[in-house]
Structure 1
Amino acid sequence: MSKQTRKFVSVVLSALVIFFTPFQAVAQSLEARNLCRESGIIFAFFNGVQTTVGEANRALNEFRRIHGDERGDGENIRYEVMYNYTDGFDDFVETFEQRVLEHEQILAGRYELALEIINGGGKWWEKLAELATTIPDARDDFMDWYQAKIVQTLTTLAGNPPTLANYAEHRSRLDTWIVEGKQLLLVAHSQGNLFANSAYSYASNKTDAESLKLVHIAPASPTLNGPHRLADKDLVINALRVSGSVASITNTIPGYLIRPAGLNGQKDILGHGLLEIYLNPALGIGSSVVQDIEAELASLQPPEIDDEAETGFFTATLTWNGEGDVDLHVYEASSAHVFYQAMTGDSGYLDVDNTVANGPEHYFASCESDKLQVGTYQIGVANYDEADGRTATLQIASFRDGVLGTKSVTLGSPTGDTPSHMMFDVEVTKDDETGMYEVIAR
C-alpha cells in the first residue's frame, strides 16, 4: 500500500471516530477551557542594532500598548519579536572599559553607565563630571567610537547579509504563520530592516500581497517594501549615507539640546533610538510612525489558502530545502505516535502533510484544556523517500512565548516510517493551583 493510500485510510478512520463520538463527549469538549487566544493578525517586530532581548520585548510592549490587541473590525492582533543578534556586543563592553573606566577609577565596574552615555548623559554623568574633569572627554571619545561601531555593523550587514540561524528561525516562523492563514504585518527598526526585507521577500512568494505588509523605521538599507520614516538628525543613518545610498529623509526632529525625552524617559544623542525618537509621542515623527502602522494594519486582508492549519498551544513546523518526502513524527505524552498514517493523536493533530518538496508539515497540540496532556512530547523527522542530503529544519513554538527552539539536520538515506533524528523533547506542565499550563523545548 502506498503512503498516499495509507494516509487516505487513516483520515477516513479518524473522520468516522469523530462522527460517531457520543453527543455528551462533544458537549463536554465544547465546555473545555480554551488555552489560546485566536488571532488573525501577526504583528512581527524586527529589532534594531545593539538591542538586547529585554529591550526588544520592551519595544514590543510599547507597540502593543499603542495599537492594542484588536483591529478596528475586531480582528485580534498577536505580537511577537523576530529577534536578530548584533555581533560585537562584547566589543561594546570592552571598549567602554578601555575608553571610559581607565580614565576614571571612580567608574570601575559601572557598565550600566554606558547606556546613560548613549542616551545623552543623565544625572549620574552630570554629578561625575563635576568631580572628574576628564569625564566629558571620556564620554565624547566613547560616543565617537560607538557611532562608528554601529555604522560599521550596519554597513557590513547591508553588504553581506548573514545567512545564519536568524534567517532560518525567521523563515520557519513565517512558514507556520502562512500555513495557519495569518495576516502578517512586519515592523522593523534600524538593522531589523535588513532581516525584515529578507523575510518579506521569502513570505511574498508564499502568501497573498494583501496579506503581507512591511513598515520601515530608520531603515539601514535603501530597499523599501512599504512606507518608511527617517529623521533628518539620525546620525547613524546619516553616517551610512556617506558610504552609500539610504532611504530619503521624511521628518525633521529638534536638535539634541531641545529634544524631548522619549517613551523610556531618555534621549538618544545619535537620534536613532526607537523609543527615544521614532515612537516619541512628543515628536512629529512618532505620530507619523503610528499612522503608517495603523494604515498598514487596516489594509491587511486574509489570504486565500486551501489547507489552513490550526493554531495550537504549541506547534511543530517542519520544512526542508528541496524535493523529496520528509515526515514529521510526534510521540505524544500518552505515547500516541502522530504521523502521516495516524494524523490524529490524543492531544494534537498533524494537519498539514507535504509529500512533494520543501514542506511544510505542521503539528499542533490542542488548545482545549481537557485534551492537552501534560508530559513529554518527543518530536523527530524521517527521510521517507528521496530526500537524501536535504537540510530539514524543525521549529517548536508556543502560543504564549513564540519560538522555543529551531534546529536543522542533514538527512541521510531513507528510513521510511522510522524517524532518523529525534530533534526535540517538548515538556508540557500544569500548575495545579493556578491551572496555568507551561511549555518548554529541549
Structure 2
Amino acid sequence: MFLDGHVWIVDFHNRKEVVTICQPSGSCSSSTTETIVRDLGPNGFEVRWLLYCAHRDPRPLHITLQGDRRSVSLKNPQPVRLTARTSFNGAILPYKPVTLRLETTPATATPGWLACGQAACSSSIRRTDSNGEFHFTYYPGSGNQPRTDTVIAECEDCSEPARWDIDVRHEVVIGFFNGVANTDAAAQKSVKRLEDEFGPQHKDSSLEYDWFYNQTACGKGALGKLSCLEDVAEVFEQRSRELGGVFANRWETFWDILAGRHQQDTSFTGRLIGLLGDGGKALLMWVDGAASAMLNQLTSGFLKLLTLFIDSPTYENQAAHLGRLTRYADEGSGLLLVAHSQGNLFVNSAVDALKAAKPDAQVQVVHVAPASPTLRGDYVLADIDLVINGLRLTGLNSVPDININLPLSKIDPTGHSFEPTYLDKARAAYSRTIGTITTSLAALTQ
C-alpha cells in the first residue's frame, strides 16, 4: 500500500534484447542485453541490466544463379534464360550491383554470349531489381564445336561467385540394329516406334533417329524363322568344333558360308584365308566342306532358308555402318544403339571398332533378345523367347541369362519379335525395355 492509500499490483518479467548492427559489407556486430527483475518482498524489487554477450558475427552476402536448362543442342540451339539473385542472411537484397562473364572449356572453342535485355551484356555493372533479381539470357552463338560455357555472376563482398554450366553439344542419335527376318520397311517401322516412344527430345538434348540395316530375308511363318536359325546355327557350331572352335566367336564366317561368299577376298573368311598363305588352302577346303555339310544337312523344308543370309551385311556394309557411327562421334553426338536379335552381333562389332578408333566416343548399347554371347551394355531377354533360348539349347557359345518372365501371347508365338513381344505394352517386357533405354539415355544426357 502506498502513502496515497492505493494498492498497486505490479507484474514484473525478465526481458532479453538482442541488437544486431550490420555494415554494407555484410559484417555484423551483435550484442545481447538481459533485464533481470528480482522481487525483494517488503523491501521492493531490484532491476539489473546485464550486457553479457557481445561479438562480431560475419554473415556475408550471397549470390546465386538459376537457369531453365543446362544443355543446348548445336543442331537446334535454344537460348537459356537465367536469373541472378542476391540475398543477405536468407532475405532478398535489392539493387545490389552484379557483374556477369563467361568461361569456355575448351578455351579454344568459340563461346556463346550473354544478352541483358535487348543488347549484349557489357562489362558495365548491372543491378538487381526490387526483388533482388537480375534476369538475362544466354545464347549459344554460331560456334559449332562441342563445349561447356560457364556463366559466372559476382557481386562485391559476396561469399563466392555463382556458376551455371551449360553443355553445348550435338544431339543424341538413337540407332537401331535390326534382327533376323527384318525387311527394310520393318526396320524403319521399329525405328519409328522408338521415335514415338521417346520423341524429339530427352531432357535438354535433341534426339535423332537412324537405322543400321543388315539385310535378311526368311521364309514365311513364325516356325520357319525359328527353325532356320536354330538348325543352321547348330550345323555351324558342329563344324566349328572340328577346328577346335576357331570360328566359335566369328559369326562373320557363319554369314559368309551361308551366302557363298567365303571365297571372296572382301569377306572376313576370305581375308583370313589370304593372311594364312599356303595354310589358307587347307582352311579353305575345310570351309568348303563346312558349307557343303550345311547344305547337305538342311532338309528340303529348310532350303528356303538359304536366302536368309544371302543379303546379310558384307564387310563393305559393316564398314559403311562404322563410317556413319564415326561421323556421328566426330560431330560430338552421343550414340545410343538399340540392337535386336542378330543385330546384337553386328552392334558389338561396330562398337568395338568405333571405340578402338575413337576411345572418347560417347556410346551406350541396349541389347534386346541378344543372340550374341558377349554384351556391350544392359539387355532384356525373356523366358518365352524361343529363338534365343533355342540357341542356348544348341550350346552355341551360350547366350545371356533370362532376366524377365512373360506370359505367352498369340500375337508372337516365338516370343522373340521386337515390337510384338519386347515393346508389347500389355506385358512387362515393355517397361523393362523402355526403362533400360531411358537409363542409357540418362547416361548420355546427364
Normalized against structure 1, the TM-score is what? Answer: 0.44
Rg bigger for which structure?
2
Structure with greater strand percent? 2
More relative contact order in 1 or in 2 (CA 8 Å, sep 6+)?
1
Normalized against structure 2, the TM-score is what? Answer: 0.43
